[in-house]
Homo-oligomer: A and B are copies of this chain.
Amino acid sequence: MQGPPVVDELQPPNRTLMGPGPSDVHPRVLGAMNKPLLGHLDTAFLEVMDEVQELLRYVFQTSNEFTIPVSGTGSAAMESVITSLVSPGDVVLIAENGYFGDRMAEMAARAGGEVSRISAPWGEPLDTGSAERALKQVDPDLFGFVHMETSTGVLQPEVATLTELAHEAGALTIIDTVASLGGVEFRTDDWDVDVVYSGAQKCLSCPPGVSPVTLSDTARDRLLDRTDTPRSWYLDLALLAEYWGDERTYHHTAPISNVYALRESLRIVAEEGLEQRWERHERVASGLQVGLEALGLDLATDEAHWSPSLTTVHVPDGVDPDTVISRLLAEYGIEIAGGLGNLAGEIFRIGCMGYSARSANVLHLISALGQLLADEGAKVDVDAGVAAASGVLSDGSDQTHEPSVPM
């Protein structure tokens, strides 16, 4: 008999999560996970499921009946829509201008799709003209792109136009909002988008583990009319529709506590108001952006494609980004991240998402990052950075919706 290992009580160090996700979780959301479990087929839990669906429709700005959380993290939501909508031989066009577009393409290939890619340089959005040409040339069944590319910080503009172009080409759109939903304007119905998925741990500030998905009636009909079998059972949305819909057919045991947490995080979004929340992200992240520039850093994303949820800056010459990131975590408890893929070693990625998007966090970050960069030999002006951020964050604009620091 192999003996038991001795493992101490969990004492995670305090962190301020200002990376590309997860973000800090509101104490009310952590508290919701502390509630006792209900069975996954208990009528009281079925009511919770209905409430979560209603709240998700609000945050997606949709009346789509098919609006559910998938039982996994953001990548599970991504694969659920791809494996469920892509039959072998279907033509799938994916915009690839970052890490997560690449992931969509990889999943579509695994689902058996014939994948074409429109590439744009990492750090730039997809160009509407290129998209139009590619849609005409490739004639896809599905067109997938990322609203806010976590690997580069680029926000894709003209979602409604891209969707219209896709529809003219006879394709449905699949849009990744993992790093934008709940923090940056996104309007599913107004923009006529077909399929949207997201994650819990970014602008919704909920622990990862359940991930929102919504399908228009057209997309849902495509799903339900499909005659072959999707390549995944766990992520088959047609089966999930029967569990989350009126049938309540058992599929798998939902992650009860994560559903509780998502419900509470969405309640907080509803209380704050979605537009107010978008405005808060914009205001707080502007403070971050202005502060970083005043430190003397160069933004890595064009102002026109900047996303409030994630700001990227070039690593100053002569500075080792990993050292700065490690020291920021060890000495100040602040998490930020470096670049991924093509941008590894080139940029810092600084998130401003959900409960993390607070003035105090931004001021602390600008001050700490500035001091560390100076200590590592970069030419930065710490006082100017803090003053500039402070100017934006204290300009008298309405801060009533900024969540207070936990007790």
Interface residues in A1-23 by Cβ distance below 8 A to B read 1-7, 9-10, 12-15, 17, 19, 21-22
B54 and A231 contacting across the interface, CB-CB below 8 Å: no
Question: Using a Cβ–Cβ cut-off of 8 Å, how many residues does chain A contribute to the interface with B?
Answer: 97
Q: Which of A29-37, A383-391, A397-405 contacts B (4 or more CB under 8 A)?
A: A29-37
Q: Is A44 an interface residue (CB 8 A)?
A: yes
Q: Is A367 an interface residue (CB 8 A)?
A: no
A106 CB to nearest chain B CB (Å):
6
A61 and B1 contacting across the interface, CB-CB below 8 Å: yes
Query: Which of A1, A71, A234 lies at the interface centre, i.e. has the most chain B CB atoms within 10 A of its CB?
Result: A234
Q: Is A307 an interface residue (CB 8 A)?
A: no
Contact status of A110 and B232, CB under 8 A, knowing A10-B35, A71-B73, A270-B6: yes
Complex interface: chain B residues within 8 A of A253 (CB): 21-22, 73-75, 199, 201, 208
Among B232, B255, B256, contact of A232 (Cβ-Cβ < 8 Å): B232
B36 and A19 contacting across the interface, CB-CB below 8 Å: no
A231 and B110 contacting across the interface, CB-CB below 8 Å: yes
Q: Is the interface of A mostly helix, strand, loop or mixed?
A: loop
| A-to-B contact residues, CB < 8 Å | 1-7, 9-10, 12-15, 17, 19, 21-22, 24-25, 30-45, 48, 51, 54-55, 57-58, 61-63, 71-76, 78-79, 83, 103, 106-107, 109-111, 189, 199, 201, 207-209, 229-235, 250-258, 260-261, 263-264, 266-267, 269-271, 273-275, 329, 335, 337, 340
Among B2, B75, B229, contact of A233 (Cβ-Cβ < 8 Å): B75
A261 and B252 contacting across the interface, CB-CB below 8 Å: no
A322 to B6, CA, bound (A): 45
Among B7, B15, B208, B230, contact of A55 (Cβ-Cβ < 8 Å): B7
Q: What are 14 A-B contacts with C-beta separation under 8 Å?
A: A5-B54, A5-B55, A5-B270, A9-B267, A15-B36, A22-B253, A34-B34, A73-B252, A75-B252, A78-B234, A201-B256, A231-B231, A232-B232, A255-B255
